[in-house]
Amino acid sequence: MNTRRFLLLSGAAVSSLAAVPAWAKRKKPVAKAAAAAGDDGGPGTATAVVSAPADTPVGPLDTIAGHAIVIDFNTGAVLLTKDADTPSPPSSLTKLMTIYITFTQLKEGKLTLGQTFTISEHAWHMGGSRMFVQVGTQVTIEDLIRGIFVDSGNDAAVALAEGIAGSEDAFVAMMNAEAKKLGMTNTHYMDASGWPVDGHVMSVRDIATLATHIIKEFPDYYHYAGEQTFTYNKITQQNRNPLVAAGVGDGLKTGHTDEGGYSECGSTERNGRRVIVVLNGLPTWSSRVTESKRLMDWAYNTFQDVPVFTAGQVVSQAPVWLGQVPSVPLTVQTGLTVTLPNNWRDTTKIAVDYPAPLPAPVISGQKVGQITLSGTSVPPGQTLTADLVAGGDVPRLGLPGRAMARLKHFITGA
């Protein structure tokens, strides 16, 4: 006699329930490539990119970036995409994987921040953005990390690669293996720094995935990404990330090559909510500055994280068949927070689905149904369902009670 009890609630009703509250194999660098590789600190060469709309849950939004993705870190919601899965030259955003492997080994105790690596001729010889390490010197891992995040040093990236794996080629194999583990399906590394090489590519979605893992897995080390300046070898350099330099972001990296254009992987946290913006193929240095900030502000101004349900909150009262009490409260064991546009009450619905009546006995914590959130403007990528569980025990009636209940049902249909 079970039927499905399916409640469809509008956003307004929902708000009343919630508290809404490889050096030798590398192409030999020519003058043009050396001038461009990783040189993300100045105007450089403009890349012709036409402004075109990106896809968002609230409608198209123009951006001059060739590739773009904006995600909400807390919920995984994808707020904006433009050609986000197409592999393209990532330039110095490559160094995020070099950092990821370094942080992993630090966390596992295989390395220490004070440990030193010897600078090889290969590392010292790197062009483009540099930390200006000297061949034969000993440099700490901590300084090399700063040399990557602040200076975008190609020399620092190669020094870490060689120190960790013995050679850059061996380190590149580690990079590609890690990318596969993280599900970065549109990424292939050829070096540790992002120096232009045919076949060295990443998609902006993969870059966002990598950035998410860095922030989530290494809270003790992430602060290096937001350091404003770094002085090494009596040379002080400012962080090349415009969001960090402007004090509106706390990481992660920028990049530039003539082929790939200007790129940005930036993140910031405001009032407990974190957003990640990844852009590639921007035509100018200034457009990277303005576009990264514009899309970051857009994400915060257009969307909000909504605590739809809190853990233990009673969602409904379910009738119980042949139970010692006629109903049982239904709750959610874990909270459900999703990212929604500011007008979410007008565009969002919640479905509460469970069989009714529930047959006794009912055990507290027993899964009995599911809550699903939907709407035309709900951003993809986030968890939109929660298990519905019984909020108490309901023992089954004894034999006489069951007989009386069946008789009552036969007579009255209740």
pLDDT 10s digits, 71-110 = 999 999 999 999 999 999 999 999 999 999 999 999 999 9
What percent helix, strand, coil does the chain show, rounded to 5?
Answer: 30, 30, 40
Domains of the chain in start order, with CATH, are 3-19+310-412 (2.60.410.10), 31-302 (3.40.710.10)
Can you tell me the distance from the alpha carbon of 45 to that of 305, in angstroms, rounded to the nearest whole number?
Answer: 39
Q: Of residues 92, 193, 263, 267, which has the active-site annotation?
A: 92
| Of 296 and 46, more confident | 296
Catalytic member of 88, 95, 287, 292: 95
- Token reading at 38: 């990783």
Q: Which pairs with CB-CB distance under 8 Å and at least 24 residues apart come from 224-227? A: 224/145, 224/146, 224/149, 225/149, 225/250, 225/251, 225/252, 225/253, 226/250, 226/251, 227/146, 227/149, 227/150
Which residue of the set 88, 120, 129, 152 is catalytic?
Answer: 152
| Selection from 1-15, 156-170, 323-337, 350-364 with the highest mean pLDDT | 156-170
Q: Tell me, what DSSP letter sits at residue 154?
A: H
CA-to-CA dists, residue 354 to 210, 322, 389, angstroms: 38, 17, 10
pLDDT per residue as tens digits for the range 372-383? 999 888 999 998
pLDDT score recorded for residue 16: 43
Determine contact, residues 323/394, Cβ cutoff 8 Å.
Answer: yes
- How would you classify the pairing of strands 78-82 and 67-72? antiparallel
Phi, psi of 198 (to 5 degrees): -55, 135
Active site residue 152: yes
For the chain, the farthest-separated pair of C-alpha atoms sits apart, in whole angstroms, at 95
Q: What is the pTM of this model?
A: 0.85
Sheet strand arrangement including 358-359: 3-10, 348-356, 367-375, 385-390, 327-332, 314-321, 358-359
Active site residue 92: yes
Least confident of 10-24, 138-152, 246-260: 10-24
pLDDT tens digits, residue range 325-353? 889 999 998 888 999 999 888 888 888 89
Please indicate if the annotation marks 253 as binding a ligand. yes
Mean pLDDT estimate for the chain: 87
What's the rounded Cα separation, in Å, for the pair 332 and 320?
A: 18
The Cα–Cα gap between 181 and 228 comes to 32
DSSP category for residue 86: S
Residue closest to 285 by CA, chosen among 242, 249, 322: 242
